[in-house]
Amino acid sequence: MTNSLKMVKLDFFTMKSQLASYAVIVLFVLLFGFMGSSITLICINCAWFVALMSTTIFATQEKNNLNRLYGSLSLKLKDIVLGRYIFTVMSFVLSFIVAIVLFFGLALFQGNSFKLFDVFLSFGVSSLIFSAIVGMQMPVFFKMGYIKARVWIFIPFGGVIGLVVLFGVVKGLSGIIAFMRSNETILVISCLLASYIIQYLSYRVSIIAYRKRR
């Protein structure tokens, strides 16, 4: 486990110089904040943005041929994959915190009111969206490396979006959504649970995918 945490630190050092791109999130928040969007909507936007940005580290890894660095340090397959997942989740959490703080600051400045529970709701929903996207991406990027994965990732993405559009029409799902709306605590908990399950499954697949690549 400790080696995975070292990998997380290494990933942060690796991406240190690209902090600027994450600052774009700040702009997003301010932009939507001034447009008067709800906190949930802002966080959802953060979520998919950070999720898509999370592949940048694969690009850096490939460009700098960091596999050689990992090989010279005592980083095993599991450490690299698990560390990368933790890094990605942490990036999301940090971005979320920044967005929330800025949103609150803005709300106070504008004199708007807000519900504290909305924070939990936003976190739940944005976690789910984040996990869904990242969960699909990570195994593909581990298996194929950045350059190829960029192309191939559109297949699962297209597939999922197609499914979502399709299911949006089905009545059964709308019944579930209505139930969820009425009991928001369950919504939050089930979102977080689903996020964790998706990440865990994705992690197992990534391990197999990355091993095959060696």
Partner 1 sequence: MTDNYLELRDVRKRFTGFVLNDISFTLPKGYIMGLIGPNGAGKTTTIQLILNMLEKDAGEILVFGGNNVQNESRIKQDVGVVFDSSIYVDSWTVKDTEKAISIFYEDWQHDVFTDMVSRFDLPHGKKVSEFSRGMQMKLMLACAFSHNAKLLILDEPTSGLDPVTRDELLEILQDYIKNGERSVLFSTHITSDLERVADYITFINQGELFFTGSMEELLGKYRLIKGRPKDLTVTLEKSAIGLRKTDVGFEGLIGAKEAAQYKECVIDTATIDDIVINVSKRGQRND
Residue closer to partner 1 (CB basis): 2 or 182 = 2
Q: Which of 27, 35, 71, 116 touches partner 1 by CB under 8 A? A: 71
Q: Which of 9, 115, 148, 204 touches partner 1 by CB under 8 A? A: 9
Say how many Å lie between the first and final Cα of the chain, rounded: 22
126 contacts 195 by C-beta, under 8 angstroms: no
Q: Which of 68, 171, 181, 212 touches partner 1 by CB under 8 A? A: 68
Print burial letters for 188-214: b (CB count within 10 Å at least 16), e (below 16): beebbeebeebbeebbebbbebbeeee
Q: Which of 27, 65, 151, 212 touches partner 1 by CB under 8 A? A: 65
The site string for partner 1 over 76-105 (x = CB under 8 A, - otherwise) reads x-----------------------------
> Could you give the C-alpha distances from 130 to 46, 88, 117, in angstroms and in order?
9, 10, 20
Please state the length of the chain.
Answer: 214
The backbone torsions φ and ψ at residue 177, rounded to the nearest 5 degrees and listed phi first, read -60, -40
Q: Among the candidate windows 64-72, 81-89, 128-136, 172-180, which touches partner 1 by CB under 8 A?
A: 64-72
Among candidate residues 81, 57, 55, 64, the one with its CA nearest the CA of residue 214? 81
Residue closer to partner 1 (CB basis): 15 or 29 = 15
Residue closer to partner 1 (CB basis): 115 or 211 = 211
Residue closer to partner 1 (CB basis): 5 or 93 = 5
63 contacts 15 by C-beta, under 8 angstroms: no
The site string for partner 1 over 138-167 (x = CB under 8 A, - otherwise) reads ------------------------------
> Could you give the C-alpha distances from 184 to 37, 48, 73, 125, 134, in angstroms and in order?
20, 22, 46, 11, 24
Residue closer to partner 1 (CB basis): 9 or 148 = 9
Contact residues for partner 1 (CB under 8 A)? 3, 6, 9-10, 13-14, 16-17, 60, 63-69, 71-76, 214
